Structure formats: C-alpha cells, structure tokens
Amino acid sequence: MSILTEIRNRFRPVLADLTADVDSALGMVLRAQDGKFGDFQANCAMPLAKAHGKPPREIAQQIVDRVSVEDLADKPDIAGPGFINVRLKDSWIEEAATQLVADERLGHQRLAAKKYVIDYSSPNVAKPMHVGHLRSSVIGNALDRVLRFVGHEVISDNHIGDWGTQFGMIIFGFKNFVDEAAYKRQPVSELARLYRLVNQLCDYHDAKVERPNLLGKLADLQTEISAINNPLQQARLIRKLKASISEQEALLDDYAAKIATIASSPELSKLADSYPDIAVQARHETAKLHGGDAENQRLWNEFMPECLQALQGVYDKLGIKFDKALGESYYNPFLADVVTKLQAAGLATESDGAVCVFLPGNEAPFIVRKKDGAFTYATTDLATVQYRVEQFGTQVMLYVVDTRQSEHFKLLFETAKRMGFGDVEFHHVNFGTVLGNDGRPFKTRAGDTVGLESLLDEAVARALQIVSENAPDLDDATKKSVAEAVGIGGIKYADLHHNRESDYKFDWDKMLSMSGDTATYIQYANARMNGILRKGNVDRAALRSSGARVRLTHASERSLVLQLLSFEDAVNAVVAELKPNLLAQYLFETANRFTTFYNDCQVLNETDAAIRQSRLLLCDLTARTLTLGLELLGIAAPAQM
RNA sequence: GCGCCCGUAGCUCAGUUGGAUAGAGCAACGGAUUUCUAAUCCGUCGGUCGGAGGUUCGAAUCCUCCCGGGCGUACCA
C-alpha cells in the first residue's frame, strides 16, 4: 500500500466526523509540495471550517488532536491559515522501505480486473508511416503495458486503415501508372508513389474547380468590407472579414501551389489532362473493391501482405506488438447489418440521399452510408464496437487517436450507447497535433515529411556514436543494443513526457537529445546502479533475502526512499488519467533523487557494514523501479552503458 | 455562423483537478573530478501565468468579456 493511502486512512475516521463528503476532503490530503512543509499535507481544514462556521485553525487543531498517526509520524503541525503538515518518522520509513525490498511488484497492488480493448497506432496502409503516427503508437503502447501491469485484461488492437478511399487511389494508380520494374523491386514504395501521384492529380483538379468559387467568395468579402461606412463602429466586423479574407487567400495559395506543381511538369500536365475525372474513377475503384469485384479483390490480396510487412518493420524497431490487427476491411461483412439495425431502431434516417444518425445537440450528422451507397468509417467503427463487445466481452474501450477527431468519437460513443452498448465505458484518449518547427501542423500529404523509419535509424546511429565515445570498453554487440535502447527510448520518451493533450512540436534535435530530462538520463542512472552492484559482486536475490534493513542516515537517502515508496501512486495515476507522462515525470524525479544520493553517499566504500548493506538495498530497489517503470513506458533499460 | 482547444521564463514544456514563495529541461553564466560511470552534480540569471473584471480565506486553475492563435464543422479516415 502506498504511504499516501496509509495517511489518508488515518485521516478518514476523523474527517468522517466533520463532513458527509469524506472522499473530497481526503482528496485534499496530498504529498507536500515542498520539503519544508513536511512529507504530507492536509488542506481540508479551510473548507471544512466554513461549513462549520468556525476559524480554520480551530478545525485544524481538532483534526490534529484526533488523528492517530503516532506510530508513523510526528505530531502534525498547523501552519498558515490552517494547513496540516505531517512529517513521517524515519523509523517508519525504514520499515516500509525494507518491506518494499521483498515485493516483486514494488508495492503495487493489483486493481480489480476489467476487460479492455485498446485501439492504437492504426496507420493507413496506403501511406508510409511518418512522425505523425508516432504519438498514437507510443502513447497507446505505454498505456497498454501499464493497464496490463495493474491487472487488467487487455486486448491491443491495431485498427489498420486498409479499406478506405485511399485504397481505391492505389488500385487506380496501379492499373494506370504502375512502373512494373519498380514494383518488383520495392512494391511498397511503388504503391506509395502511386498513391501520392493519384492524390496529387485529384487535388489538382479539385483545386482548378474550386478556385473560381474561392475567387468569387473573396470578391464578395472585399465588397462587404468596402461597403462598411462606419469603420469605427464596425471595427470588429472588419477584423473578422479581414481574417476571413486571409483564410481564403491561404487556401487560394494552397490551390495555386498544387496547380503549379502539375503545370510545371510536362509529364504531370499530360497525365492530368488525360484523366480529368480521376477522383471519380478512383472512388469507383473503391466501390468495386467493396462490392466484391474479383480483380480489385485480387489486387488487394496481393498488396496487403507487402504493406503489412512494411509496417511490421517499424513495429519491430519500436518494440510494439499487438494482440490483434483487425483492419477496417475485417468489418466489411457487418456494415450493411449495422445500417439496417440503426434504421430499424429508428436511430438512422435518410437525408440528402445519405443515411444519417442525427443526435440532439449536434449539428453534424453521423453518416453511416453515403449517397453513393458506400459505408464510412462511422459504420466501420460501430461494427467494431459491436464485434468487440460480442467477441471479447469488452467493458472498457480506449481509442488513442488525434484530438481533432473528438467530434467523431463523441458521435460514435453516443450512437453506440443508443444502439445498446450503454454499459461499455468509452474513452477517446486524445492527443495533440504534431506541429512542425514553424508551429504549424505537419502536413501529411506533402512529400517532404520525415519518414518514421529513417527517423528511428537516425536516432540509433546517433546513439551509437555517443555510446562509442562514452563507453569504448563495451563489446560491439552490447554497444549496438545500448544504442538501440538509447535511440529508440529517446524518441519515445520525448513524446511520452509531454502531457498527451498538448500539441507537440516536433523537434528532431530535441528528440534525439541525450541530456537533461530524457530517457538517457534515466537509463544512465539505472546503469550506474547496476554498475555498483556488479562491481561489488552483489548477488541481488541473496541481498534481498539477507534480512538487511534499510537505514536512513542522510537526507538524500530519505528523499530517495520516499520517492520509491510512491511508485504505486504514480502508476495508478497513469491508469486514472490515461496519461503516461505522469509515469515519465515520476521516473525522471526518481533518477534525479538517485543521482543526488549517488553524489552524497558512498556505497561500496562505506565502512559501516549495516549502512553499506542498506545502500546496496537502495541501489537494487531504485534500479528495479527504474527498469520496471521504463519497461511500462516501452523503453529498454540496459544494465550497463 | 456554430462547436472544441490553447496562450505559463529567451526556447520546449510540467503544474497533483482551488492551496503556502508558480516548477523542470534546454540555452546563458559561474563552480565541482587523486573517491562506486562527468551521458553527472551544485549554483546564478530568468515570470504582469495573454489582458481586464468577478467568485472566496486562497485563482495559472472556476465564471464573464476582450486580444491573439489552432482545430473541427454532410458524405476522406
């Protein structure tokens, strides 16, 4: 049990006498923010005082008089307006830490198991993975590992995009533009090229059609703005119009660029002229595929293994494994039924030729069948929910997906609940957009985005260089595996230590940086501890069962031990919030406190045998905490580096 | 138009869901190594938490308005 829980349990009976809402009062019992306020603080006296119409310090005094903590802490102090500060007794910390040594799970008690499906990564097979795909994979995998560790039954599912409009583009491209030799050599990159090409041509025609409309809209706005005859009064309106104009102009630039790209290349212009209705034709190929057309099915079956294998290469490098990879195509047989069911239940109605679910309070409909008869990802997602509940008995469903799709998930969850899945707990585990160095969202369609695989390779190469400089004595195989741990771990950590909800500025150098708040820092601390244990010829299992006790003789030992004792809180916080950065922060702080301890306290050179044993225990315990913690984030922890 | 999100140190970001003097990393500057790994440690500098009101014992956090930015918004996923 964590110390925090223990402390709260002590306060519980006392607070129960003062309020009906004990839990919220207990929520104000926290780790102290600052060492000078002790180890824990209870901030509940102030709000309780108001309810009782008494001075806060009087209520605080009442709590302090009644709370029973003599065995584990000094008599609590009252400070400021009524803060209650608790300082733990060293003897109690020593005992708690000694018990921790014997615990395989480092103090974490399993939670009541629930059945989870966690849906993450979900790349589109038509496009090669790029850095934008990293967040879902890395955050999702960390949550996957943490949920399993705390005791849940987890099925990880890679919901691959293998059935959408892009596939029609590939098929169309393949039928019309394929370079057979290139396809034989490198099937996946040829398919990617075809996708980009078709997409580019579609955009071109689209831009040409839309441009006049846009120009018209711009002219209207200009007229509107010049018609304003009282600029002072209508300053706000003018600002809005101007914003609107610059927005349209940006779009126009975008179109102009697309048109220019094609126009500047004679070959591309020729292609564009030869296929004026390419978008329609590509969509037609998608429809044929969905409809069971033999040729398109054959192509799909031919392409898929190649595409999946290419993805697998990236997952191998990242150390990510899925239980299932049921792509969109898997649900094709169920889609028609979903729509029928929705219609029968009166949930879906036809509108403008499309079948839609209209949900109160939402302007946009949830479209489950387009007017051309094709189904959408809304349909697929509903079928997926149904499948997961029926096949796996799923109780909690997590979707680790970009925050920009929050509206989709809001509608999905609402519709699913109305369809009869009201008992399922749904969470859109949203994350912020990946931004470029300019602070603008990464463009996925532009050709110049950083490919994920080359990024990973670059990271490992840089790490190898640093490993060779810093640890020339390691043999080559060890250097290589350390470089992988440091390179890949660094990239993952760069992502995981941010709050997932914030936008994320992609910075190559920062991502590959190996000093400061990085995975490398934590890995290095871990390696140093392992180094001590190795150098001292310590049999770690024997050490743990030796009956040696943790003893506090220095402030930095105390600080480290308190941190080790709150591992459970850190892990449970990740589960409660579905935020891996809470664990990343915890590990950095732990490594930090260890390094201070390392600086202040000698271990192997300590002459007092009992203190030496105690410090060895701390090394062992800290190393286990960091290794396990990093593992939960999907980051390797080499024993030496 | 409607909806959602964001604005914290020069830069990148935390901030325990309303708590005490707002914290890290990077960058800059100064120091530490005959001692278990210097991929390290210690210190200094750096803030009108976008602005203005309000709520209360107490606000970066909650409410209102304003400024600035991002995203989504009927048949892409």
Closest residue (CA to C1') to nucleotide B37 in the complex:
A528
From A592, A602, A569, select the one nearest A522 (Cα to Cα): A592
* A119 assigned to some structural domain: no
Enumerate the β-bridge partners of residue A429: A400
Same domain, A464 and A598: yes
- What DSSP string runs through A79-104? ETTTEEEE-B-HHHHHHHHHHHHT-T
A367 beta partners: A356
Please name the residue that has the structure tokens 């743990």: A544
Query: A603 and A513: one domain?
Result: yes
Total number of domains constituting chain A: 3
Protein CA at A81 to nucleotide C1' at B55, angstroms? 20
Tell me the CB-side half-sphere exposure of residue A267, using CA atoms within 13 A: 2
Residue A76 in any domain: the answer is yes
Of A265, A290, A315, the domain-final residue: A290
Q: Which of A114-118, A316-320, A448-452 has the lowest mean pLDDT?
A: A448-452
Contact A198, A170 (CB under 8 A): yes
Domain end position, chosen among A61, A88, A115: A88
Domain identity same for A72 and A200? no
* DSSP assignments along A39-80, one per residue: SEEE--HHHHHHHHTS-HHHHHHHHHHH---TTTBPPPEEET
In a shared domain, residues A29 and A170: no
Predicted pLDDT at A445: 41
**A484/A619 same-domain check:** yes
By C-alpha to C1' distance, B23 is nearest to: A33
**Are A32 and A38 contacting, i.e. CB atoms less than 8 angstroms apart?**
yes
The model's confidence at residue A442, banded by pLDDT at 50, 70 and 90, is: low
Separation between the CA of A521 and the C1’ of B10 (whole angstroms): 25
In a domain, residue A526? The reply is yes
pLDDT at A444: 45
- Flag whether pLDDT at A466 surpasses 70: yes
Task: Let me know whether A500 and A628 are in one domain.
Answer: yes
Which nucleotide minimizes the distance between its C1' and the CA of A401?
B77
Q: What mean pLDDT do residues A68-82 have?
A: 92
Q: Are residues A169 and A84 in the same domain?
A: no
Q: Taking residues A601-616, what's their average pLDDT?
A: 93
Closest residue (Cα, C1') to B2: A363
Strongest mean pLDDT among A211-225, A259-273, A334-348: A334-348
User: Which nucleotide lies nearest residue A435, CA to C1'?
Assistant: B70
* Å separating the CA of residue A114 from the C1' of nucleotide B48: 48
A499's CB contacts (< 8 A; 6+ apart) are A579, A581
> What pLDDT is recorded for position A352?
92
The nucleotide lying nearest A486 (C-alpha to C1') is: B39
Cα–Cα dist A289/A296, whole Å: 5
Which nucleotide's C1' sits nearest to the alpha carbon of A437? B12
How many angstroms separate the CA of A74 from the C1' of B21?
Answer: 25
Q: What is the pLDDT of residues A369-417, one digit of tens each?
A: 999 888 999 999 999 999 999 999 999 999 999 999 999 999 999 999 9
B35 C1' – A534 CA distance, angstroms? 18
- What average pLDDT does the segment A170-179 reach? 95
Supply A227's token pair: 């018609």
In a domain, A12, yes or no: yes
The dihedrals phi and psi of A232, each to the nearest 5 degrees, come to -70, -50
Q: A338 and A383 in contact (C-beta within 8 Å)?
A: yes
Interface predicted TM-score (ipTM) of this complex, two decimals: 0.96
- Nearest of A191, A195, A387, A226 to residue A307 by alpha carbon: A191
Mean pLDDT lowest among A175-179, A221-225, A349-353: A221-225
d(CA A240, C1' B64) / Å: 22
What positions of strand B are covered by protein, i.e. any atom < 7 Å from a CB?
1-2, 4-6, 12-17, 19-21, 23-27, 35-42, 56-58, 66-77
Residue A346 has what DSSP assignment? T
Those residues whose C-beta lies under 8 Å from the C-beta of residue A565, and which sit 6 or more positions away, are A2, A3, A93, A96, A97, A100, A107
Pairing of β A366-369 and β A396-402: unpaired
Domain for residue A400, yes or no? Answer: no
Average of pLDDT values for A38-45?
A: 93
Determine the distance between A627 (CA) and B22 (C1') in angstroms. Answer: 32
Same domain, A592 and A461: yes
Q: At what angle do helices A476-496 and A294-318 cross, to 10 degrees?
A: 110
Phi first, then psi: give them for residue A195, nearest 5 degrees: -60, -50
CA separation for the pair A513, A202 (Å, rounded): 40
Percent of chain A with pLDDT over 70: 98
Which nucleotide comes closest to A619 if you measure CA to C1'? Answer: B36
Q: Kindly report the number of other CB atoms within 10 A of residue A297's CB atom.
A: 14
In a domain, residue A208? The reply is yes
**Closest nt to residue A165, judged CA to C1':** B76
DSSP per position, A553-582: -SHHHHHHHHHHTTHHHHHHHHHHHT-THH
In whole angstroms, B71 C1' to A474 CA is: 49
Protein CA A202 to sugar C1' B29 (Å)? 56
Whole-number average pLDDT of chain A? 91
- 3-state secondary structure labels for all residues of A145-207: HHHHHCCCEEEEECCCECCCHHHHHHHHHHHHHCCHHHHHHCHHHHHHHHHHHHHHHHHHHHH
Q: Given the structure tokens 């708040």, which residue do they identify?
A: A517
A446: tokens are 């532009």
Distance A369 CA to B77 C1' (A): 14
Measured CA to C1', what is the nucleotide nearest A569?
B16
- Assess whether A82 and A175 both reside in one domain: no
CATH assignment of the domain containing A566? 1.10.730.10
Residues A477 and A588 in one domain: yes
For residue A278, pLDDT over 70 is answered with: yes
Nearest to A316 by CA among A137, A122, A475: A137
A47 CA vs B56 C1’ separation (Å): 10
Q: Render the burial of A40-75: b for 16+ CB within 10 Å, e for the rest.
A: bbbbbbbbbbeeeeeebbebbebbbeebebeebbee
User: Of all nucleotides in the shown strands, which has a C1' nearest the CA of A501?
Assistant: B5
Domain final residue, candidates A245, A270, A290: A290
Give the CA-to-C1' distance from A482 to B7 in angstroms.
40
Structural domain boundaries enclosing A261? 165-290
Q: Is A481 exposed, middle or buried (0-12, 13-18, 19+ CB in 10 A)?
A: middle
Question: What is the identity of the amino acid at A393?
Answer: G
Is there a domain that residue A325 lies in? no
Task: Write down the residue that tokens 């290095």 correspond to.
Answer: A524
Residues whose CB falls within 8 Å of the CB of residue A525, separated by 6 or more in sequence, listed in order: A591, A594, A595, A598, A622, A626
User: Which nucleotide comes closest to A507 if you measure CA to C1'?
Assistant: B12
Lowest mean pLDDT segment, chosen from A12-21, A192-201, A391-400, A445-454 = A445-454
Q: What is the distance between the alpha carbons of residues A345 and A465, in angstroms, rounded to a whole number?
A: 63
Give Dmax (Cα) for chain A.
90
In contact, A63 and A14? CB cutoff 8 Å: yes
Instruction: Name the residue closest to the C1' of B73 by its CA.
Output: A364
CATH code at position A55? 3.30.1360.70
Mean pLDDT of A8-30: 91
pLDDT at A54: 86
Residue A554 lies in a domain: yes
Same domain, A82 and A174: no
**Of A570, A434, A436, which Cα lies nearest the Cα of A502?**
A434
Going by pLDDT thresholds of 50, 70 and 90, the confidence category of residue A237 is: confident
Cα–Cα distance between A535 and A520 in angstroms, integer? 22
Note whether A576 and A474 are same-domain residues: yes
Rounded, the Å distance between the CA of A344 and C1' of B76 is: 28
- Nearest nt to A377, CA vs C1'? B77
